A and B are shown apart, each in its own frame.
Chain A
Amino acid sequence: MSLSELLSTSFVQHAFYAVSAVALAAGAVGYFVVLRRQAFAAHAIGHVGFAGAAGAVLLGLSPIIGLLVFCLGAGLLIGFGGATLDDRDAVVGVTLTAALGLGVLFISLYSGYANATYSILFGQILGVTWADVGLVTALSAAVLLVISWTYRPLLYVSVDAQSAASRGLSTRWMSLLFMSLLAVTTVVAIQIVGVLLVFSLLVAPAAAAEVLTSRPLRAMFLAMGIALASAWIGLFLGVWLGGPVSFWITALASLAYLSARLGDNTRTRRVRRVVA
């Protein structure tokens, strides 16, 4: 099959739509993950999702149901238990370990586990159906809609919780809201890149964007753009050259972060030289 024929097959088309929706939501939510220094929580929610998906598979349900239940549960637990910064790491760590243990148990109980495990852990972008595309797009659109509505207060509590609280914003409710957004985004991102590589869409593009600009709105759109570019080019390379699509997406997003940091370093050095 030629490249153009490959690109017009239905599974590549499905993947294209799904990956676009996910990249936009993950880029936007990821900006706040980086801003709030909550990468560890994002990491944990992904791993909790692993237990949920494994449990759903064991019960003969669609993995996405297990993912939604477990990720939302973990998000709310972290949001409730760890609203104060001091003990957030401990809450996240314990949630993470408990869920991973459960996941291992579910997987060992399920006889045909190798395939299911693999796709949960590393994504199955080329296996998504039209139904998956619909669900993923709807969830991503909902996440983006909520972010656009709550953008300013979310930004405020993320950079200066005390001032935000003094102006009447509830840091606890905002934290719960954000963890729910993060949970839903993690669920859809897992469909594409899997539990282990969820960071590639959620953290790397936003981290790169934060290095490249000091303007919040610009940084959020830039994060969405980098995530989208990584996803599109990654999908294309996966189809064209072979190799897992999630590998390509991860590689590109990491590369974006690396080049942002390198570019930033040379720029600061140049500025310093001018000043000196």
Chain B
Amino acid sequence: MSEVKSLQMTGGAVSLGGHTIWRDATFTIEPGSITAVLGPNGAGKSTLLKMILGLVPLSEGSLEVLGESPHRGNRRVGYMAQTREADSVSTMTGRDYVGLGFDGPRFGWGRDKSKRDVVRQALNLTGTTTFADRPLHSLSGGQRQRIALAHTTVFRPELLLLDEPLAALDLAAQSEIVDLINLIRDTTGAAVIVVAHDLNPLSPIVDQVLWIARHQVRSGSVEQVVNEKALSDLYGHPIEIVVTPRGRRVIVGLEEEFAHPHPHGHDHSHEEGHEHFAEVYEEETR
């Protein structure tokens, strides 16, 4: 049983519109582990999640998801998008939204009698029972994320893909969600892949890091990937890491990439890893 990896990528590459986003990705993800995916905007973090869902094909290499090749509608994989239109506008209750996670993809007239109990369990697990009957748009950001996690786990996926679940949350809500992700992993035994732009809130629970930048994917433990040498190598210029007394890492030398999400300037040195940069880069090397 434990022989089957949750994810196995061997020499994987992806291109969109003829441009290589990243290549030579080789890593495995163990069942029940938590993996943080980091890197600049546009480096291809969300694209990795879409590949796992079977929505974007590999251009090279191979990928096995829970021992199978990736395919659309895989019932064993759960995906939580970064923004969900339901959140801000929907008058639907959290309970109904979680219910859609259970039987939303199913056509037909029949009703699954187990639905009520399964939804109740998911609400209990995520601590959302008290506000599950309120409309989604009336909930706080942290409450919505908890409901969304219930929605994503209600059908018991073995691999969970979470795209920026901590974005736009205050620090208290961030640590609540991190605890909840840990709890979900412990209770369901699912492997979790979390895309994030900041490692610090996640570092207490993370087993492995994938850092995607400059068309490359680095993988390993936090210490192996998030150190000055490895990151300086990856970025091609010096990166400094300052560790605060409480153990938070401040990474110096990456700021420009976050400050300029639209790389239409002339100075390319700041723009490695951006999808747009791929165009510029390939034109120059042609």
Give chain A's interface residues, CB within 8 Å of chain B: 35, 37, 148-150, 152-153, 155-156, 159-169, 210-211, 214-216, 219
Contacts and interface: CB of A to CB of B under 8 A. Distances in A.
A72 B271 CA distance: 47
B93 interface: yes
Given A167-B73, A168-B74, A169-B105, A160 B55 contact: no
A35 B97 CA distance: 13
Interface string B74-98: 1101111100111001111100110
A159 B92 contact: yes
B68 interface: no
Interface in B88-116: 89-93, 96-97, 100-101, 103-109
Contacts of B90: 35, 159
17 contacts: A35-B90, A149-B108, A153-B104, A156-B105, A162-B81, A163-B152, A164-B104, A165-B55, A166-B78, A168-B73, A168-B74, A168-B105, A169-B104, A169-B105, A211-B91, A214-B134, A215-B96
Given A149-B109, A150-B107, A164-B104, 20 more contacts: A149-B107, A152-B104, A156-B100, A159-B97, A159-B100, A160-B84, A160-B85, A160-B86, A160-B97, A160-B100, A161-B85, A163-B84, A166-B53, A166-B55, A166-B78, A167-B79, A167-B104, A214-B92, A214-B96, A216-B96
B100 A152 contact: yes
B260 interface: no
Nearest to A212: B91
B79 A215 contact: no
B73 A159 contact: no
B16 to A, nearest CB: 16
Interface residues of B, number: 36
State the 9 A-B residue pairs at the shortest beta-carbon distance, nearest first.
A168-B73, A156-B104, A166-B79, A162-B81, A159-B86, A167-B105, A214-B135, A160-B86, A214-B93
Contacts of B53: 166
B72 interface: yes
A95 B224 CA distance: 56
B215 interface: no
B131 to A, nearest CB: 12
Contacts of B135: 214
A163 B154 CA distance: 13
B151 interface: yes
Contacts of A163: 79-81, 84, 101, 104, 151-152
Interface in B182-209: none
Given A160-B97, A163-B79, A168 B107 contact: no
A162 B84 contact: yes
Nearest to A157: B104
Nearest to B80: A163
A27 B53 CA distance: 36
A215 B99 CA distance: 11
Contacts of A164: 104-105
A147 to B, nearest CB: 11
Given A152-B104, A164-B105, A215-B93, A159 B85 contact: yes
Q: Which of A35, A150, A156 has the most CB of B within 10 A?
A: A156
Interface in B42-90: 53, 55, 72-75, 77-81, 84-86, 89-90
A208 B31 CA distance: 48
A255 to B, nearest CB: 21
A197 B20 CA distance: 52
Given A160-B97, A214-B93, A216-B92, A152 B106 contact: yes
Contact of B106 (A37, A153, A161, A162): A153
Contacts of A169: 73, 104-105
